Every structure is written in C-alpha cells, then in structure tokens.
C-alpha cells in the first residue's frame, strides 16, 4: 500500500479521508513498513466497509491486516442499529468465533525437557487434527440444541472441564442470544462428528515457553513467569460455523437489493440489524460462537488428559479464551454518550482495558488478556488491553501475525518435510498429517509477529505482557 494515499495521524496510525461513498474515515494502525507491505486490496476493503450503512466513527484495520473477504482480515467496524446499521456475515467470517485459548500448566521448561517427544506424540494422538479426523462425541437432536445454546458451559456440565474454566472464557463461556432454531439442518449435519476437533489450515495446539516478560504486574495477574510452559489452542466453530457463514453470505447477498443496500463487492453482503434476516443471522452466529467455545472447552479436556498421562504433576488452568471472528453487541461511548453498537471483529481481538466490568476480578486491574497466535516457528504473544484502546478502535487489537504470502506461493517455496526438519533442529517438534499443510503454514509465509505486536503497543491498542516461543505444535 502506498503511504502517499494515507495521512499520518500519530505514530503507527494512518487515516484515509472519506471519499466517494465512504460515510466515515478509514483508520489503519501499523508502522510504515507493515503498511507498505500490505496489499492495495486492504485499502480498498477499508474504504468499502466505511461505506456500509450505520457505521460509526471509522472503518479500522489492525497492524496484521491483510486482504480478506469484503472486510479486511484484521478489520474492526461498529454499527448503530438505530442509524440503519448492518450486520455482515462476511464481516464475521466463515470460521465464526475462531479464537485462541491459552492454558497455564504449572510446569517449567526443565520439567518437560526429557519427555518432549512423548508429550508431542501423546498430544497428536489425543487431539483430532486435520481433514478426516473426527471427535469421539456424536451430537444428536436435543443434545445439539443444548450445545448451541450453552457453549462451554454445556461442555463443562457434560464433564469436559471445570466450572472455573468458564470464569476465564469470554461471555462466561456461554454467548447470550443464541437461537439454535436458526441453525440449519445442513450446518448441524456438518458438525455431528466434529466436536472436539482442531480443524486444519492455520489451526493448532501448541506447547509454548514464556521467553520474555514485558509487564511484570500484568504477567503476575495472568500467572506467567519466564520459563513457564503454557498451552495455546487456536480453532473455531468447525463445519457448523462454516456452513452458517456460507448460507447467510448467500442469503444476505441475494436480499441486499430488497434492503436497499448496494454492494461494491458481493462479499460485503449484509442485512440491517433490525431486519428479520439480520436477526436470524445474529441468532445463528451466536449459536456458532457457542459451538466454538464448546469446541475449545472439549479440546482443553483432551489436552488435560494427554498431559496427565505424560506429566501427571501438570495442572492445566485456563488463562483466557478470546475469539477473533465475531460480531458482538457492546456498549461504547460515542460523542460522550453510551450507545449500544454491533462491533464486527474479523481477525481482530477484543481488548478490554483495566476496570472493565466484564473482566474476571483477577484481571480487572491490568486489563483483558489479548492472545496473539504467531506462526509455528516464531512466537506468539500475550498482550493486555489498555484504557486508550476504547478510543482507538472500540477496544480491539490485532489477532496474529497475518499472512505475508499466499498458500500457493508457500508450497512452491518450501517442502513440508524440510520445514519440519529445520524446526526440529531448532528444538520445535511439529506433528501433522500433511506435509503440504505444513509447507502452507511455514513460518516464512507470515509477517513478523514481533513487529505487528510492537505496532499494536505503539498505537495504544494493547500492551505487551509476554512473548511465547513454540516447543511442540500439533498442526491441524
């Protein structure tokens, strides 16, 4: 992206003046190198989102932004239902409520050193990963409805977890307003055998080591110290979410003329929040969020069992569970007044600042943990929400490194076997059913996650707490 098309507002903050159909400006948070490396399509997508009905304040892009579907990945946009605001299936994404859950283990690096290979193999056997893998749980009829309404709360009730896990999961583990009846038979059928599965693509379960602490107060509140071993799970709502996304993308695109919405790109398909279709999507999408929360809860249970077999002294506790593909109704201050807005975060993480009432008491002083997944050879990060983030982008931050290279290009540049061997030489164990899948996710295919996180901090979106280095990666 050409910097000349942007006006610098502050360090790592760039503005696109409203032009043409744009109702609000575009705001892009990133350093100049990251901006220059971004596709022009990101610029176009920020502007397109800024033209949607009822958008409030600005169309935002996070430092890890890249070309997405209608909305950029790394896009944040809030809509006011009283101003004709819309909800967009593309603005949430196909993998509804994809997110990261991080668990502390009570273990230090030295505790796992001798058992690393066995732990990797045990986790790979315990965690269904990749295409064709199915979970041990089969959901039928009423049980599917209970899962869609109850989320992680349902999973804990069924014995897959501990009640305290829910205190450290967004929404207390259960998204309110889910309407299972809005979830189609096809979506249910796609999910029947997929509870407790990781999926594929960029999804993973990683064992990581805390290698640096940048904020000791927040790290202490989160229970993190240098040398600690943590587990991070990155996945979403599986086939059910994909099917809901596909179906509503189609119906919103087809209904747009009826709603008087002209779409510069069909992928921006949306419906007024206050319309039968908008409400129907919100009910289904929230059920999809519950599916993702339940899924990560079941995977937590499976990871606990795997650790028990190899390292019985481990105690896996949920640090936090946060989604980065959602649309949530939230209260924000606009022009000094509290307003209920529908905030889309597509590849962006909610980042509530200190004092926010939705935070668990243990984190209230320091802000919400913001879990950033990196690539399998570099690093992941734990950040904390800031007070300024509310003003910057409705309390939002980046979600990952962001891809720098297409899958196609990555498979030409690397071979999976070679990536696995090189990482093994650096002490990182990869377990995957697909060499090509590994090549597509090669660390070099991603942006520099450290630069992304640095920009998020400079821009005031979130502040750095801990850097995590991968030791074992079960790749979906």
Partner 1 sequence: MNLNARKANTGQGSWEHFSHAADIGVRGFGDTPEQAFEQAALALTAVVTPPERVQPREAVDIRCRNPDPELLLFDWLNALIYEMAVRQMLFSRFEVHIEGAQLQARAWGEPLEPARHRPAVEIKGATFTELKLAQDASGRWVAQCVVDV
- Applying CB under 8 A, which part among 266-274, 316-324, 354-362, 379-387 lies near partner 1? 266-274
* Given 66, 242, 301, 399, the catalytic residue: 399
Please identify which residue in the block is written with the tokens 């509140």: 221
Tell me the two tokens of residue 374. Answer: 């990196």
Tell me the two tokens of residue 333. Answer: 């201050």
Dihedrals phi, psi of 345, to nearest 5 degrees: -125, 105
Rounded to a whole number of angstroms, the minimum distance from the CB of residue 131 to partner 1 is 4
Tell me the two tokens of residue 211. Answer: 């290698």
**Between 116-126 and 276-310, two packed helices, what is the crossing angle to 10 degrees?**
140
Q: Calculate the dihedral angle through the C-alpha atoms of 445, 450, 454, 457, rounding to the nearest 10 degrees.
A: 100
Per the DSSP assignment, residues forming a β-bridge with 474 are 205, 431
Total residue length of the chain: 476
Of the candidates 201, 373, 377, 385, which one interacts with partner 1 according to CB under 8 A? 201
Tell me the two tokens of residue 473. Answer: 């990666």
**What is the C-alpha to C-alpha distance for residues 183 and 437, in angstroms, rounded to an integer?**
30
**What is the C-alpha to C-alpha distance for residues 252 and 470, in angstroms, rounded to an integer?**
40
**What is the C-alpha to C-alpha distance for residues 4 and 9, in angstroms, rounded to an integer?**
13
Of the candidates 1, 61, 66, 353, which one interacts with partner 1 according to CB under 8 A? 66
- Applying CB under 8 A, which part among 106-114, 199-207, 273-281, 309-317 lies near partner 1? 199-207
Residue 325 makes contact with partner 1 by CB under 8 A:
no
Of the candidates 48, 88, 102, 243, which one interacts with partner 1 according to CB under 8 A? 243
Rounded to a whole number of angstroms, the minimum distance from the CB of residue 219 to partner 1 is 31
Nearer to partner 1, 70 or 278 (CB): 70
Tell me the two tokens of residue 291. Answer: 């599916």
Tell me the two tokens of residue 239. Answer: 């086939």
Rounded to a whole number of angstroms, the minimum distance from the CB of residue 310 to partner 1 is 24
Residue 36 makes contact with partner 1 by CB under 8 A:
no
Residue 239 makes contact with partner 1 by CB under 8 A:
yes
**What is the C-alpha to C-alpha distance for residues 278 and 285, in angstroms, rounded to an integer?**
10
Residue 135 makes contact with partner 1 by CB under 8 A:
no
**What is the C-alpha to C-alpha distance for residues 129 and 179, in angstroms, rounded to an integer?**
29
Rounded to a whole number of angstroms, the minimum distance from the CB of residue 223 to partner 1 is 33
Q: Calculate the dihedral angle through the C-alpha atoms of 314, 317, 323, 328, rounding to the nearest 10 degrees.
A: 170
Residues 167-196 that bind partner 1 (CB under 8 A): 186, 189-190, 192
Residue 458 makes contact with partner 1 by CB under 8 A:
no
- Applying CB under 8 A, which part among 25-33, 65-73, 114-122, 449-457 lies near partner 1? 65-73
Rounded to a whole number of angstroms, the minimum distance from the CB of residue 197 to partner 1 is 10
Residue 105 makes contact with partner 1 by CB under 8 A:
no
**What is the C-alpha to C-alpha distance for residues 151 and 291, in angstroms, rounded to an integer?**
6
Residue 111 makes contact with partner 1 by CB under 8 A:
no
**What is the C-alpha to C-alpha distance for residues 342 and 52, in angstroms, rounded to an integer?**
13
Rounded to a whole number of angstroms, the minimum distance from the CB of residue 329 to partner 1 is 25
Write the binding mask 113 to 132 for partner 1: x where contact by CB under 8 A, - elsewhere. Answer: -----------------xxx
Nearer to partner 1, 132 or 312 (CB): 132
**What is the C-alpha to C-alpha distance for residues 381 and 466, in angstroms, rounded to an integer?**
6
Nearer to partner 1, 173 or 402 (CB): 402
Residue 399 bears catalytic tag: yes
Cα of 145 vs its chain's centroid, Å: 24
**What is the C-alpha to C-alpha distance for residues 101 and 170, in angstroms, rounded to an integer?**
10
- Applying CB under 8 A, which part among 107-115, 152-160, 262-270, 382-390 lies near partner 1? 262-270
Residue 95 makes contact with partner 1 by CB under 8 A:
yes
Residues that bind partner 1 (rule: CB under 8 A) add up to a total of: 49
- Applying CB under 8 A, which part among 218-226, 261-269, 332-340, 356-364 lies near partner 1? 261-269
Of the candidates 265, 315, 329, 454, which one interacts with partner 1 according to CB under 8 A? 265
Q: Are 377 and 428 in contact (CB under 8 A)?
A: yes
Residue 433 makes contact with partner 1 by CB under 8 A:
yes
Q: Calculate the dihedral angle through the C-alpha atoms of 291, 297, 302, 305, rounding to the nearest 10 degrees.
A: -160
> Which residues form the interface with partner 1 (CB under 8 A)?
39, 41, 66-70, 73, 90, 93-95, 130-134, 186, 189-190, 192, 199-201, 239, 242-243, 245-246, 249-250, 253-254, 265-267, 269, 403, 406-409, 412, 433-437, 440
């Amino acid at each position: 992206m050409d910097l000349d098309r942007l006006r610098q507002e502050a360090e790592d903050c760039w503005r696109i003046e409203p032009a043409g159909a744009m109702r609000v400006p575009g705001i892009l948070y990133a350093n100049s190198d990251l901006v220059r490396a971004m596709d022009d399509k990101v610029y176009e997508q920020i502007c397109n989102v800024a033209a949607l009905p009822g958008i409030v304040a600005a169309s935002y892009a996070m430092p890890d932004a890249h070309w997405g579907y209608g909305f950029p990945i790394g896009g944040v946009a809030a809509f006011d239902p009283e101003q004709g605001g819309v909800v967009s299936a593309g603005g949430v994404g196909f993998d509804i409520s994809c997110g990261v859950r991080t668990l502390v283990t009570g273990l230090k690096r030295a505790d796992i050193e001798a058992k690393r290979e066995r732990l990797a193999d045990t986790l790979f056997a315990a965690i269904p990963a990749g295409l064709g893998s199915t979970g041990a749980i089969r959901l039928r009829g009423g049980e599917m409805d209970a899962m869609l309404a109850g989320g992680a709360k349902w999973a804990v009730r069924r014995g897959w977890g501990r009640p305290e896990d829910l205190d450290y999961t967004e929404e207390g583990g259960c998204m309110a307003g889910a309407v299972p009846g809005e979830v189609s038979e096809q979506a249910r059928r796609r999910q029947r055998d997929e509870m407790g599965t990781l999926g594929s693509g960029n999804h993973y379960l990683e064992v990581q080591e805390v290698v640096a602490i940048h904020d000791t107060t927040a790290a202490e509140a989160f229970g993190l110290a240098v040398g600690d071993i943590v587990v991070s799970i990155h996945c979403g709502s599986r086939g059910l979410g994909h099917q809901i996304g596909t179906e509503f993308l189609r119906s919103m695109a087809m209904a747009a003329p009826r709603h008087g919405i002209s779409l510069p790109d069909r992928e921006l398909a949306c419906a007024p929040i206050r319309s039968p279709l908008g409400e129907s999507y919100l009910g289904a999408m929230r059920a999809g969020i519950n599916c993702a929360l339940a899924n990560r809860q079941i995977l937590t249970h499976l990871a606990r069992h795997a650790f028990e077999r190899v390292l019985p002294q481990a105690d896996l506790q949920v640090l936090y569970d946060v989604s980065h593909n959602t649309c949530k109704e939230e209260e924000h201050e606009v022009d000094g007044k509290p307003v209920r807005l529908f905030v889309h975060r597509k590849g962006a993480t909610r980042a509530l600042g200190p004092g926010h009432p939705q935070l668990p008491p243990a984190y209230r002083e320091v802000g919400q943990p913001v879990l950033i997944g990196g690539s399998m050879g570099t690093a992941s990060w734990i950040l904390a929400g800031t007070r300024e983030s509310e003003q910057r982008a409705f309390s939002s931050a980046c979600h990952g490194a962001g891809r720098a290279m297409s899958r196609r290009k990555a498979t030409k540049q690397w071979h999976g076997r070679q990536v696995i061997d090189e990482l093994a030489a650096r002490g990182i164990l990869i377990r995957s059913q697909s060499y090509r899948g590994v090549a597509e996710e090669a660390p070099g295919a991603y942006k520099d996650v450290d630069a992304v996180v640095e920009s998020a901090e400079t821009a005031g979106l979130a502040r750095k707490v801990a850097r995590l280095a991968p030791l074992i990666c079960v790749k979906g």
